[in-house]
Amino acid sequence: MCILGQIEGERMKNVTESKENNHDVIIVGAGAAGVGIGIVLKKMGIEHIILEKEDIGSSFRKWPQETRFISPSFTGNFFGMPDLNAISPDTSPAFSLLTEHPTGEEFAEYLVGISEVFDQNIEIGVEVCKVSKIDGLFQLETSRGNYTTQFLIWAAGEYQFPKKDSFVGAELCIQYSKIESFLNLQGDHFLIIGAYESGFDAYTHLVRAGKAVQILDGGDNIDLINSDSSYSLSPFTRDRIKETLSPKNYFKDARVTKVEFLDGKYVVSTQNNKTFTSVSKPIDCTGFEGSLALVKNLFEFDERYPYLNERDESTITEHLFLVGPFVKHRNALFCFIYKYRKRFAIVGETIAKALNIDPETVDEVLEEYKLGNFYLDDLSCCDNECVC
Ligand SMILES: Cc1cc2nc3c(=O)[nH]c(=O)nc-3n(C[C@H](O)[C@H](O)[C@H](O)COP(=O)(O)OP(=O)(O)OC[C@H]3O[C@@H](n4cnc5c(N)ncnc54)[C@H](O)[C@@H]3O)c2cc1C
């Protein structure tokens, strides 16, 4: 919960006047996106600060202990094929973590490590509670007083903001993002609502723990094959489930409409008129609302996703940028690190130009990001299907 301007019970003085709290650029969130764009700004010599409400990589630390990256890490950087999970072209989680599919905790360590290497200016324990734009400057009210900035980069992510109302009775379920470890869940039989990456992740770990599991798919994700990994289950997940998934435990076209607690049992009803029951709380894996609610007045939306111009800037608020998994252009959803990292340099380049940063330095950074395959400005490339 956001408590404005309070630290350890003491009311903070309003620090808008304090020079340290006025910045050229403020980045909100020190996850993969915030640290990644921070590195670009640092390399370009743009003054900035990252405000983080908890700790570097805190969302990754909140993943269930057993959960691992679905996208593989492999050190190919120096041959122009950077590690898919790297957030800067000169680093590789495979190299520093020595694993192909890091856990959330491991990946957070990678983020901490590279924040140190790039000497990132991160203020931890600062929660941004309210953002407004007054006379051309963003005013941020935070748990540690007020900040102002010319440019604001929103990188507050999605994981800590789950969907709460995908169906009636969602509050009776356990949200995937609240599970610390699947091994701690009490019970022998579980119903999983939602059969995409997080649903099948829960399925995999519970089956491995010897539990009986039924998974309810609102559509038909097993048969949905798409060349874009944002719209189709990953090979890692397909490999994990193929031995155990069967019509006895997987139900397609079973969109859940209601969950009730009746006579000591959870009763789950679906749109295709089926009911399922379990003694344990059903697990809600229907996804994330995202953090944009806090700045929703500063963006225009097309249902879930904000409209952005070709530089990932809000179409209604100049100098407000979005980085991370909620960036979407036409059909191209930048929800994986290997996708959204390709927009960091575009945002950096735009801000650098506006701040009249030395063009030679900026060009050097752009060259590095282009060579490292970390730069995508032609958005027409992402709409086509592969033929093989
Ligand atoms: C289970 C799971 C598995 C995934 N696997 C993969 C994968 O294999 N490969 C991949 O590329 N992607 C994967 N993703 C997607 C991945 O999580 C996101 O790409 C990534 O976490 C997004 O990073 P981010 O920096 O945008 O957000 P986050 O990592 O959530 O960082 C946002 C930060 O902002 C902070 N914050 C939030 N609100 C405020 C505020 N008001 N004030 C200050 N700070 C704030 C948070 O504490 C957090 O530290 C997975 C996601 C999930 C849920």
> pLDDT for 253-274, tens place per residue?
999 999 999 999 999 999 999 9
Residue nearest ligand 1's atom 35 by CA: 29
Residue 195 is predicted with a pLDDT of 96
Distance CA 224, CA 237 (A): 13
Residue 16 is predicted with a pLDDT of 43
Could you tell me which residues are beta bridge partners of residue 48?
Answer: 25
Report the chain's mean pLDDT, rounded to a whole number.
Answer: 93
Residue nearest ligand 1's atom 2 by CA: 198
pLDDT band at 12 (very low <50, low <70, confident <90, very high): very low
Give phi and psi for 108, each to the nearest 5. Answer: -60, -35
* Strand pairing report for 283-284 and 189-193: parallel
How does pLDDT run across 102-126, given as a tens digit for each residue?
Answer: 999 999 999 999 999 999 999 999 9
Give phi and psi for 314, each to the nearest 5. Answer: -55, 140
Atom of ligand 1 nearest to the CA of 201: 1
Name the residue of 40, 53, 59, 163 to mutate for ligand 1: max ligand atoms within 8 A of Cβ.
Answer: 59
For the segment 130-142, the average pLDDT, to the nearest whole number, is 97
Residue nearest ligand 1's atom 9 by CA: 71
For the segment 91-112, the average pLDDT, to the nearest whole number, is 98
Q: What is the helix (H) or strand (E) element at residue 44, kind and residue range?
A: helix 32-44
Higher pLDDT, 24 or 221: 24
Residue 227 is predicted with a pLDDT of 78
Residue 18 is predicted with a pLDDT of 55
Residue 303 is predicted with a pLDDT of 81
Predicted TM-score (pTM) above 0.85: yes
Q: What is the helix (H) or strand (E) element at residue 140, kind and residue range?
A: strand 137-142
Within 161-234, residue ranges assigned H as helices are 197-208
Within 159-263, residue ranges assigned H as helices are 197-208, 235-241
Between the CA of 32 and the centroid of ligand 1 the distance, in Å, is 7
Q: State yes or no: pLDDT of 384 exceeds 60.
A: no
Pocket of ligand 1 (CB under 6 A): 28-34, 51-54, 58-60, 63, 67, 69-71, 127-128, 155-157, 159-160, 198, 201, 291, 294, 324-325, 336-337
Atom of ligand 1 nearest to the CA of 55: 49
Residue nearest ligand 1's atom 12 by CA: 336
Q: State yes or no: pLDDT of 81 exceeds 60.
A: yes
Residue 378 is predicted with a pLDDT of 87
Residue nearest ligand 1's atom 13 by CA: 336
